[in-house]
Structure 1
């Protein structure tokens, strides 16, 4: 593929030579920072780290999984991974959302601008009121992003940051909307964010305030998809209570915590769906 630079930032030939030298000196590293001309950039490669067996297996069985919410997207490796990431960045930037800038791309390699600190670090360092304010900003941005018809795909807290006062999205390595309806993919975004947030907050009142911020903005189709998923997981919570804590593990504990929270907040989803129906009916009458 021909070398491409982003119109917002241009890398000098000298800095490019240093970046390529850094890549050559660490052939096994998928993501690595580099300091060039007094600023930090990130080198990201899509031709290292073979896809984990568990992820490959998940993708292979995805077509038969139900509900669609549980399916995974096809892996994008090499140049296909670069193409997916660049297309997502372009779509998000085109809709007015902040992303890293593409400084340079060639084949299976990208050089991106730095947008630190990631939300994981920002939340860990924040006081309780500031943490809640940051989370409110995050859930509002998620709702706005979904309202714009976009989906992140893998919105872990380490794949987003607060940059110049705005939520910044990056690491677009999954495309769940290719294996499930867009609404389910957007609901899946919300679910993946809730997993660590519910475990972090442990305060149902505060978590419901965060959910309502998303519900106020997200498309009603995504809210309905989330409600359907809650209906699917609700019966699983009964036998899960019989499983000793020592056998649950961190991932299962977060899953159950987020599922219990959503079951308890089901009335909020019902209210959001009803309010959307009333707005639609009112608009039809006016037209």
Structure 2
């Protein structure tokens, strides 16, 4: 693995942050650059039952980041770490924010989603599965995609089944964000399809065909006028996108 030299003064800046009241995840600026500190969760008994051992989960995520970085995949580099924390550079703006706020020109948003689709496909091509690649955990900065949040990553899940699940989660999260088909999603799907060497797209199509009944079953929920049912309203969009030959890019 390529050794990374932390910027001058970063260790001191991190120490100052760690002296502040505890936050599991926090960000700070050092010499004009944003960095993130992540620490093990301080969970009560109920949360420990739900999520398991916090230190073990933290160690697993740190190890996963190092493994995926070593594989040349677009995850944040660990600049500093100890048993109690690790520090990564900021990855930029989450794709969900780009999609909802539309502050960037459409052409750049399309480019960002195209890059995200390609990044996920290349991760799968390399034999890995992310676990939960929601667009809120995929960032865009300076023409680069950064994938985040490996809480659901497991080496035991690096398989076809979980790669199909990745693709479903990625697309579903995009449709749930805006509740319509947009050029950004089309670009992401085409890029994924172009780099799909293991028939993951076909697997996702088969999944949608198998679970198409969820659409009519949940239509009464979809009709509710509340944002809390976005995930249900995204289902017909997801099913139609994976059925549509035009979205397959060929």
| Cα distance, 1:217–1:244 mapped onto 2, change above 3 Å | closer
The 5-angstrom pairing of residues 132-147 of structure 1 reads 132-147=110-125
* Structure 1 spans left out of the alignment, 5+ residues: 1-5, 57-73, 276-287
| Cα distance, 1:181–1:23 mapped onto 2, change above 3 Å | closer
Tell me, what secondary structure is at the counterpart of 1:173? coil
The 5-angstrom pairing of residues 87-102 of structure 1 reads 87-102=63-78
Find the partner of 1:212 among 179, 190, 200: 190
Alpha-carbon contact 2:110-2:183 (below 8 Å) kept = no
Alpha-carbon contact 1:43-1:112 (below 8 Å) kept = yes
1:24 paired to 2:19: yes
Alpha-carbon RMSD across the aligned residues, in angstroms, is 3.3
Distance (whole Å) between structure 2 residues aligned to residue 196 and residue 204 of structure 1: 13
- TM-score of the superposition, structure 2-length normalised? 0.79
Alpha-carbon contact 1:160-1:169 (below 8 Å) kept = yes
Find the partner of 1:187 among 144, 164, 167: 164
Q: Deviations over 1:178-212 (max 9, x none)?
A: 3x561121122212221232243713776445323
Alpha-carbon contact 1:237-1:260 (below 8 Å) kept = no
CA drift of 1:11 comes to 5.6
- TM-score of the superposition, structure 1-length normalised? 0.70
1:48 paired to 2:24: no
Alpha-carbon contact 2:125-2:198 (below 8 Å) kept = no
| Cα distance, 1:225–1:250 mapped onto 2, change above 3 Å | farther
Tell me, what secondary structure is at the counterpart of 1:129? helix
Q: Counterpart of 2:79?
A: 103
Q: Higher Cα Rg: structure 1 or 2?
A: 1
| Cα distance, 1:8–1:222 mapped onto 2, change above 3 Å | same
| Cα distance, 1:15–1:106 mapped onto 2, change above 3 Å | same
* Structure 2 spans left out of the alignment, 5+ residues: none
**Counting helix residues as a fraction of each chain, which structure ranks higher?**
1
The 5-angstrom pairing of residues 127-276 of structure 1 reads 127-175=105-153, 178=156, 182-199=159-176, 200=178, 202-203=180-181, 207-243=185-221, 245-246=223-224, 249-250=226-227, 252-263=229-240, 265-266=242-243, 268=245
Q: Counterpart of 1:278?
A: none
Distance (whole Å) between structure 2 residues aligned to residue 51 and residue 187 of structure 1: 34
Q: Deviations over 1:135-184 (max 9, x none)?
A: 12211221122111122222222322223312112221112563x56112
Find the partner of 1:121 among 84, 94, 97: 97
Distance (whole Å) between structure 2 residues aligned to residue 259 and residue 188 of structure 1: 17
Find the partner of 1:35 among 19, 22, 29: 29
Distance (whole Å) between structure 2 residues aligned to residue 169 and residue 51 of structure 1: 30
The 5-angstrom pairing of residues 51-90 of structure 1 reads 56=50, 77-78=54-55, 80-90=56-66
